[in-house]
Structure 1
Amino acid sequence: MRENFNDLLWFLMVAEERSFTKAAAKIGITQSTLSHTIKRLETRLGLRLLARTTRSVSTTEAGERLRQSLAPRIVDIETDIAALTAYRDKPSGTVRITVSDHALEQLVWPKLRPVLADYPDIKLEFSRDNGLRNIVEDGFDAGVRLGESVEKDMIAVRIGPDWRLVAVGSPAYIAGRGVPKAPQDLIGHNCINLRMTSAGGLYAWEFQKAGQALRVRVDGQLVFNSTLPMVDAAIAGYGLAYVPEDLVTAHVAAGRLQLVLDDWAPKFAGYYLYYPSSRQNSPAFKVIVDALRKHS
């Protein structure tokens, strides 16, 4: 039969206060309830633990031995509980995020890199994936996707500005194949395709101009499932690539790439961090959300 620890704790309180009245007040019970509890403990142990007089309460030899045994253990337990409470309030633990390669390289990692230095007990795990993932079923804490892709039952936090997709090619390629004047002209070009992880199909290039939207399925020698190598392939002259503008701004400025169909380039509503509304957010997760949040 397991011991009733409340009885032991109340005995310890009386032994340390040397008063039923003071101990009962601290515990928040009546003096008669406390006295009855101690008598019950003594009966169960078959030992007299406290010597009572009209003016004072003191421990018997057995009671003092029990007090000396209990006191340091209670202190240890209280210390451990305090440590657990500090752990609860301290940003620590692993945060798992599914994120596209573009968002990771250009937005998420630059913002979260300082977090690791400021919070050494936080661990980050990134799954680089251009498809849409079920973050609940797949065990992620959050995902990063374009705002238009986030499901309505998720909490969505904007973390980046709007951006454009642009078509680019090397000067040598464009000199040899010509400049496309309209999206339909891409049919005659060698285009570098992107395979979408979730659906498995190739991304149809989306264009928009003066309210007119077009989707063009292009063809070419190369297919990647990541936008980053598409840029390198375009620089090397393997064809036209359709990629986020911030990936090629420096290359365009340096003359390694040229923009084509720039007036058809659509703008997208930026990246969002999303996570279930039912999620119980840990201190570590809150640090991550605040670090990524787009501040106006």
Structure 2
Amino acid sequence: MIKRNLNDLLSFVTVAREGSFTRAAALLGVTQSALSQAISGLEARLEIRLLTRTTRSVSPTAAGERLLQAIGHRFDEIESELDELSALRDKPSGTVRITCGDHVLRSTLLPRLAPLLLAYPDIQLEFDVNYGFRDIVADRFDAGVRLGDTIDKDMIAVPIGPRLRMAAVATPEYFARHAPPKVPQDLTGHRCINLRFPTLGGLYAWEFERRDKHLKVRVTGQVTLNSTPHIVQAALQGLGIAYLPEEEFAPHLEEGRLQRVLEDWCPPFEGYYLYYPHRRQPSPAFSLVVDALRQPPARVRKRS
């Protein structure tokens, strides 16, 4: 009975945190039907409703929120202790969860961490591609990747890439039809490809700087997207001017498919950092991930 109660309580905590039976079932490795029955059984035994269910969402009731606050962190502590036990093993193991953007995953994380995975088959990596500002503590990630100037000061931040620059680009054909902008304010007369933040829902205001003068320009256009690879593709289709870190456009700029403007308004800024909360004892697997991202891939070696 005690074992079943713990399983049902873990099911409740997972559903309450995810706000979805579908996502919770996937995390727990059970069917939605089994998960629903577990929650219903728990509510029946406690004789109180813990979750409010609608066709679109799931949220804890007042009683459910109280139970979640009382026991949720205890499951986190158990999981953390189990992870730290891997330090007593000969081979590092366990899952490291990282939230990041699509481009840095392709350009930096996968190339540098692939040799690590090949050398340590007991380590698993889970990546969450997300352009919003995830709370890595609340969402139970081991680490996240962001630009340096957006990281909270209470986090440990490890640089994993060079300084970056923004780039405003469009196809040569677009600029043949429309006079290239000479100053950022000219962008208001152009078709631009907007970026909408998936988490916050707002549109990104394009930021420029020159000689200590800072400008933010609200642009308009026919296309709004919430992922950078699709913004690059829209620019290549001639749908307007796009504005992203220059490395997103690098091969297309080199081969002439895209043309850059306003370059003197785009100074370098802090690049990507791996960030994570202060820990008493990081797991061996997590320490290896940090070490691999601090140095070029060729220097990652399997420990004897």
Alignment CA distance shift 1:86-1:131 (3 Å): closer
- Supply the RMSD in Å over aligned alpha carbons: 1.6
How many positions carry a matched residue from both structures? 212
The alpha-carbon deviation at position 85 of structure 1 amounts to 7.0
1:170-249 matched pairs, under 5 angstroms = 170-249=171-250
- Give the counterpart letter for 1:188 in structure 2: G
In 2, Cα distance between the equivalents of 1:149 and 1:242?
A: 18
In 2, Cα distance between the equivalents of 1:226 and 1:141?
A: 23
The alpha-carbon deviation at position 279 of structure 1 amounts to 5.3
CA contact (8 A) 2:169 2:243 kept: yes
In 2, Cα distance between the equivalents of 1:162 and 1:95?
A: 26
Unaligned runs of 5+ in 1: 1-83
CA contact (8 A) 2:86 2:284 kept: no
3-state DSSP class of the match of 1:156? strand
Give the structure 2 partner of residue 90 of structure 1.
Answer: 91
Greater Cα offset, 276-285 or 138-147: 276-285
The alpha-carbon deviation at position 90 of structure 1 amounts to 2.0
The alpha-carbon deviation at position 229 of structure 1 amounts to 1.2
In 2, Cα distance between the equivalents of 1:230 and 1:191?
A: 10
Unaligned runs of 5+ in 2: 1-84, 297-304
1:111 aligns with 2:112: yes
Give the structure 1 partner of residue 155 of structure 2.
Answer: 154
CA contact (8 A) 2:86 2:93 kept: no
- Give the counterpart letter for 1:225 in structure 2: N
- Give the counterpart letter for 2:124 in structure 1: K
After TM superposition, the runs of 4+ consecutive aligned structure 1 residues lying more than 3 A away are 84-89
CA contact (8 A) 2:86 2:94 kept: no
CA contact (8 A) 2:113 2:289 kept: yes
CA contact (8 A) 2:145 2:275 kept: yes
Alignment CA distance shift 1:294-1:210 (3 Å): farther
The alpha-carbon deviation at position 89 of structure 1 amounts to 4.5
Identity among equivalent pairs (%): 58
CA contact (8 A) 1:146 1:270 kept: yes
In 1, Cα distance between the equivalents of 2:273 and 2:92?
A: 22
Structure with max Cα Rg: 1
CA contact (8 A) 2:87 2:283 kept: no
Alignment CA distance shift 1:293-1:85 (3 Å): closer
In 1, Cα distance between the equivalents of 2:286 and 2:204?
A: 32
Alignment CA distance shift 1:257-1:85 (3 Å): closer
3-state DSSP class of the match of 1:206? strand
3-state DSSP class of the match of 1:163? coil
1:273 aligns with 2:274: yes
